[in-house]
Amino acid sequence: MTQTMVKTVKNYINGEWVEASTNETKEVFNPATGEVIAHVPISTKEDVDRAVQAAKEAFAEWKEVAVPKRARLLFKFHQLLVDNWEELAKLITTENGKNYTEAYGEVQRGIECVEFAAGAPTLMMGSQLPSIATDLESGVYRYPIGVIGGITPFNFPAMVPMWMFPMAIATGNTFVLKPSERTPLLAVRLAELLEEAGLPKGVFNIVHGAHDVVNGLLDHQDVAAISFVGSQPVAEYVYKRGTANLKRVQALSGAKNHSIVLADANLENAATQIINAAFGSAGERCMACSVVAVEESIADELIEKLVQKANEIKIGNGLDDDVFLGPVIREEHKQRTLQYIETGEKEGAKLIRDGRKDEAAKSKGYFVGPTIFDHVTSEMKIWQDEIFAPVLSIARVKDLTEAVELANKSRFANGACIFTRSGGAVRQFRETIDAGMLGVNIGVPAPMAFFPFSGWKDSFYGDLHANGKDSIEFYTRKKVVTQRWV
């Protein structure tokens, strides 16, 4: 029996599945049905101590394992992910709600991270200068930093942990993961696959839970670095507390991504991309399109297409055929979303598609239909806040300059897209927009694993982003050796 079939999931410490030192648990729901599918322990600081101790002891040996050997283990893990792809995707849909195709794609994005991390022998190379002066040479050597704490959100239960631990362990670190307590099952399955791949005990550990586990990691003197992905207030908190404890911290945070549609765009493509970006994964993506800033002259035409496409969306259980829009993660999140829809109406935005009226929104799971507001302005809360649900705001603008000014007013700056056929407009957009991940005529410009996931402003706290070369820098430290041989 795999751990994902047991009622209360266990922590994974030093290669063993162990009970948490608490009886406190939380229910894990299937958001499409409202059924309880597991319980997750709300572990304590003592559980964190045990896991960090195990990871610290494992580090002493793991850092000495030759880098190509560590990479070879990731090749095995990669094969196991491929072999179990469909099962993993089904599990994502079951605990998160996104549709099966999206879940399958999520596993792919995780696999790509493992592929990138398996390049550690090349990526970890240092550099030398044979003659910094007469008979004097210098070189840089890279080393792991120790025990890494990873804290992850509910919306990508496979991919986001894989932004972290493959690279962390490939570079010789050991890892303690605190998955989201709302979607803990995927992490459990990943641990099982790592074990099957032959990862030594203690290199990868899981402590389930909530705040206490996070604080336990942030305060622990034997944790060298924290990699966090989640909402803005928690990201800021984690960054401040982690760095106050002198840890290296990267904290990827919330978003409010704008898509700009200019009058010369291919509107059919723009509408298709925006629908996918706004309502895919029920809007629960940090790269979701939340606001469309459209040039007034084509606004009506674009909106007609958006509403028509939104009406064609099939809502339901993501495991059912052709379902595009699954549930949001929890009943509370649904209620919060409904509140935002009411707020938008009160603020004077024009509700042109009301997702509360869709049949599915009345069923047992946590469904909200595609919702679209027109005439949204930057004074409104529905423009300012990350709603993280299938709610799209449309703002009408005079031109590109006004569109960029609007987007740049947001405190968030994860991604932004432009739809146009003009190279000059793309250049202006690229040079003036304050956002770290840009798309041109595509909807979700999430970078692949070999590029950094490079949010700006309140969408990111830290210096080195997840993935890409930044991740090598984040998970390693350097020795510069200056030598004279006479």
Pick the closer one to ligand NAD by CB: 155 or 371: 155
175 is known to lie in a ligand binding site: no
Pick the closer one to ligand NAD by CB: 117 or 255: 255
The two tokens of residue 321 are 């055929």
Q: In whole angstroms, give the CA distance from residue 151 to residue 146.
A: 16
Q: In whole angstroms, give the CA distance from residue 409 to residue 435.
A: 11
Residue with the shortest CB distance to ligand NAD? 230
Give the orientation angle of helix 67-83 with respect to helix 185-196, to 10 degrees: 120
DSSP readout, 364-404?
Answer: SS-----EEEES--TTSHHHHS---SSEEEEEEESSHHHHH
19 is known to lie in a ligand binding site: no
Shortest Cβ distance from residue 212 to ligand NAD (Å)? 9
286 catalytic residue (yes or no): yes
Shortest Cβ distance from residue 252 to ligand NAD (Å)? 4
Query: Catalytic one among 113, 286, 289, 417?
Result: 286
Rounded to an integer, what is the distance from CA 220 to the centroid of its chain? 24
Dihedral pair phi/psi, residue 393, rounded to 5°: -105, 140
Shortest Cβ distance from residue 170 to ligand NAD (Å)? 20
386 is known to lie in a ligand binding site: yes
Shortest Cβ distance from residue 290 to ligand NAD (Å)? 10
Pick the closer one to ligand NAD by CB: 166 or 254: 254
Q: Answer for the pair 277, 393: CB distance below 8 angstroms, yes or no.
A: no
178 is known to lie in a ligand binding site: yes
Number of C-alpha atoms within 13 angstroms, CB side, residue 457?
Answer: 18
Q: In whole angstroms, give the CA distance from residue 9 to residue 190.
A: 13
3 state SS of 121: helix
β-pair type (11-13, 16-18): antiparallel
C-alpha to C-alpha distances, 104 to 82, 89, 319, nearest whole angstrom: 11, 5, 11
98 is known to lie in a ligand binding site: no
Residues making contact with ligand NAD (CB under 6 A): 151-156, 160, 178, 180-181, 210-211, 214, 229-231, 234, 252-255, 286, 386, 388, 414, 453, 455, 459
Q: How many helices (H) and strands (E) does the chain have?
A: 16, 22
Decide: residue 347, CB within 10 A, 0-12 exposed, 13-18 middle, 19+ buried: middle
Cite the annotated binding site for NAD(+) by residue number: 154, 178, 181-182, 386
Active-site residues, by number, are 286
